[in-house]
Amino acid sequence: MKPVKYQRTDDLEEKEGKIYDIIREKWVRSTQEERVRQALVASINTDLGYPLERVREEVPIKMGSTYASKKADVVVFTDKTRETHYIIFECKKPTRKDGVEQLKSYLNATGAPYGCWTNGIGEVVLFRKDPNIFEYLERLPAVNEDIDDVKQPLRKSDLQPIENLKEMVQELENTVLANAGVSAFDGVFPLIFAKLWDEFDKGPNDTMEFRTTTASPRQQAERFKNIFLNKALRKWGDVLNKNDWPDLSPEAFLTVASALQQYRFSHPDFDIIDAAFEYMINPEQKADKGQFFTPRPIVKMAVKMLNPKPNELAIDPACGPCGFMIHTLRWVNDKYIKLRYGEEWKAHRTEYARSNLFAIDFDPRLVKVAKAMMLIAGDGRTNVYKVNSLDPREWKNRTDGLLDAIRDEKFDVLMTNPPFAGNINQPEILGTFDLAYKGDPT
């Protein structure tokens, strides 16, 4: 959901609990949903330029041989004969977030190419390419515009902060990924990774490569795959590999990519990213293993209490999505590096992250997430390792530099929230530890 565009509340006429309906040309009861609808109609006419003779409210929608029990809130038709649906709108009051699926069913039933769901605060704009195949658009076409006008080049400066990534992932999972038999993590995470490369590669006025166009779905899917394989992996091949590219149809790729394209993932609100990644990693499975993401207020409290310094080495031996190290990096950067180095702080932040922060986890998905999160935070992915920190046997014959990095280091700061479920029964592991020795209580 993105911030609302199509609301003109200043144009509303209200009195004595009623609001004037400019389509039906009469006063109607002023409910929250009705205010959203009338502000929308005003915007359709004033901002998009559609004449009111092409706009109707409470339009019956024929679903097969019968009509739906509910009517479309607002419809823009292709011309004044009002025979062919062009844009269908679904309006909700500000506290409601449901109705997008209902809108999609209306688009499929009528063949209308465009749809817009709004609650007066946020909105979802859809383009129906084929039955059950929808792209998310930045805006609707104005009168005399078409899809080519809507899909103008997207610049980096046009990207918007993302407000609820988890909600977006859930919607994609329910509408696209579940039908394709692909998990939310496998279907969305690689595309976020490719999009991150594009954002880091581009200047403010550069045109984004990660965007949908009017090319065929197959051509567009190949272009997104090329960004992932030949650009993102070439730069960050230690995070993902070529086998991580999801097995989705070209049409499904477009739906996922179009949902992501308008948002900025570099320099995000980490709490928003955390919530989405926690959901994607399958919390039910993690609970069985005793793995839970540490709440961010607790992470921030621990970092503040320990007050890590720029010259100190820090490690998390059960890092999960790397919350402790991310907030250590942000703490040191804000409290010390920016003050000391001024405009040159970014290079010194990267050097600090690569030299002073270390993270370990045995879960391969969590290691991927941890590296991606550290990359977003300041390219500190270098020292994130996949290994069981309790099993010294796994540390031998490592070729990724883990032993060399920590063999002779004495860490100043250790923060961790390890998994607490399950038992360790292997004598080879237990024999290396004295702590928590379970002997005869007598």
Domain CATH for 391:
3.40.50.150
Residues 225 and 138 in one domain: no
Return the pLDDT at 11.
74
Residues 335 and 229 in one domain: no
Return the pLDDT at 49.
92
Residue 5 lies in a domain: no
Residues 242 and 172 in one domain: yes
Global confidence as pTM: 0.77
From 116, 143, 170, the end of a domain falls on: 143
Name the domain count of the chain: 3
The CATH number for 43's domain is 3.90.1570.30
Residues 92 and 197 in one domain: no
Residue 211 lies in a domain: yes
Cα distances (angstroms) measured from residue 154 to each of 40, 139, 264, 281, 400: 25, 12, 12, 30, 38
From 93, 119, 143, the end of a domain falls on: 143
214-252 core/surface letters (b: 16 or more CB in 10 A; e: else): eeebeebbebbbebbeeebbeebeebbeeeebbebebbb
Residues 217 and 191 in one domain: yes
State how far the Cα of 72 lies from the Cα of 57, in Å rounded to an integer: 7
Task: List, as own/partner pairs, every contact residues 173-179 make where C-beta atoms lie below 8 angstroms and the sequence separation is at least 24, other chains included.
Answer: 175/101, 175/104, 175/134, 175/255, 176/248, 176/252, 176/255, 176/256, 177/248, 177/252, 177/256
Residues 354 and 295 in one domain: yes
pLDDT < 70: residue spans in the chain: 1-3, 68, 268, 282-292, 380, 395-409, 420-422, 428, 431, 435-442
Residues 139 and 174 in one domain: no
CA terminus-to-terminus distance, the chain:
62
Residues 174 and 238 in one domain: yes
Residues 66 and 109 in one domain: yes
Which of the 8 DSSP states describes residue 124?
A: E
State how far the Cα of 233 lies from the Cα of 239, in Å rounded to an integer: 8
Return the pLDDT at 291.
53
**Domain carrying residue 82:** 14-143
Return the pLDDT at 274.
78
Asked if 417 contacts 293 with a C-beta cutoff of 8 angstroms, the reply is no
Asked if 251 contacts 217 with a C-beta cutoff of 8 angstroms, the reply is yes
Return the pLDDT at 99.
84
Return the pLDDT at 398.
63
State how far the Cα of 235 lies from the Cα of 379, in Å rounded to an integer: 12
Helix 364-378 × helix 323-332 angle, to 10°: 10
Residues 208 and 236 in one domain: yes
